[in-house]
Amino acid sequence: MQFLEARGLPTRKDERYKYTDVAAVLEPDFGLNLGRLSLQFDPRQTYRCRVPGLGSSVHYVVGDSVAESNVLIDDGSLFVGSMVEFAQRYPDILRAYYNKVEGDSLAALNTLLVQDGLVIRVAKGRKVADLLQIVNLSVGSVPMLANRRQLIIMEQGAEASILNCNHSATRCSNLATEVVEGVLAEGSHLQYYSVEETTNNCNLLNTTQFVQHESSKLDYASITLNSGLSRRTINITLDGTHAQTAVSGLVLANDNRHIDNNLLVVHNAPLCSSDILYKYVLDGSSIGAFAGKVLVNAQAQKTDSQETNANLCVSPTARMFTQPMLEIYADDVKCNHGSTVGQLDDTALFYMAQRGITPEEGRLLLQQAFAWDVLQRIDLLPLRQRLMHMVEERFRRGAGACGDCVMCAG
């Protein structure tokens, strides 16, 4: 509260929030479930989320409460469960890793209001075979503000894959603040994938922070298939030598959707690498924004960094704001960045028409081909295939949500 009173909420005068009006997002009179009322909703009856061909452990967050039906995992080397429960069992570990996001007012707002969250801790040397899937469901019969929290602790040599899904089970407007904090110790490897498949009434303000230590590896991807306003602030810090990070993003938007991704990758150690690829496909009167900054400090010699942002405006009324940035204080680095904004290739459409492909089908094929580069970076083959199917379905059905989880194997 003291930080918020001194700093205030972000405005468009703040460089990192210049493309999103946070005050307008927070203006509606949202309800808060401060009394922790039990929501009469069983997510497992509707959202039987499984990725075909991939073993997974599914955990549900309903509104901003960890679902009571979740099975707590705590076998000594793996913990997946409520943050409240984790605080009771491992208070010292929680204090060491929780609430380390500095200087971000939206993260402070979440910290002020959050009452529970989900903790995933993978102990030293543990390699988790199953995909850990988190299903976040927006619910409520009135406009609601949900405050979700995730803490991910990867100890030395640990390995895990996490799929974070956002879905909606309400027709009411709602807003979720979401803070994801992750720490990757020496030699650990984390694959973290986030998928938004909600409705135009669902808005998201996300803050994600990962800190990487020596020889750790992070594969991060966010896929926005359908949503209302979506704003993601992503901070990744490479604090140990030979750390590697690959950050990917795919945005599909139409109508009047507003999708804003703001990324900061900080190289604080030598011999580290970062590889960034974001792609947007914008239709209708949608607005996309991407700002990606790679900061290479003086001690981060031998840095290898690549940043690419490519954007496709399918409609003449779609708008894209792009701002790739490099700030380098070391003199022995290999860093590149680039950005493009374009439209569908008329020549390619012409050649496809000569081969009997209709203009409508040709446009769909070109958009799918444009998106494939991002999906190919997902190492888990069953998940990659499922996401490819979801993207194809999204292009064919437009912005209308299917009403159920499109990742359901049935």
In a domain, 381, yes or no: no
Longest dimension (CA), the chain: 67
- The pLDDT tens digits of the residues spanning 73-132 come to 999 999 999 999 999 999 999 999 999 999 999 999 999 999 999 999 999 999 999 999
- The pLDDT tens digits of the residues spanning 39-89 come to 666 666 666 666 777 788 889 898 888 887 788 899 999 999 999 999 999
In a domain, 191, yes or no: yes
In a domain, 64, yes or no: yes
In a domain, 280, yes or no: yes
Residue 352 pLDDT level (bands cut at 50, 70, 90): confident
Question: What b/e sequence results for 139-167 when a residue is b if at least 16 CB atoms lie within 10 Å of its CB, and e otherwise?
Answer: bbeeebbbbbbbbbbbbbbbbbbbbbbbb
Q: List the 73-74 sheet strands across, edge first.
A: 73-74, 78-82, 118-122, 144-154, 174-184, 202-212, 229-238, 258-267, 287-296, 319-328
Q: Identify whether the C-beta of residue 363 lies closer than 8 Å to the C-beta of residue 314.
A: yes
In a domain, 39, yes or no: no
- DSSP string computed for 219-262: EEEEEEEE-SEEEEEEEEEE-STT-EEEEEEEEEE-TT-EEEEE
In a domain, 244, yes or no: yes
Domain count, the chain: 1
Q: How far apart are CA 218 and CA 359, in angstroms?
A: 40
> Residue 402 has what pLDDT?
47
In a domain, 390, yes or no: no
In a domain, 370, yes or no: no
Residue 36 pLDDT level (bands cut at 50, 70, 90): confident
At 53, list the tokens.
């061909």
Q: Identify whether the C-beta of residue 341 lies closer than 8 Å to the C-beta of residue 322.
A: yes
Rounded to a whole number, what is the distance in angstroms from the first to the last CA of the chain? 46
Which range marks the domain in which residue 287 is found?
Answer: 55-346
> Residue 75 has what pLDDT?
94
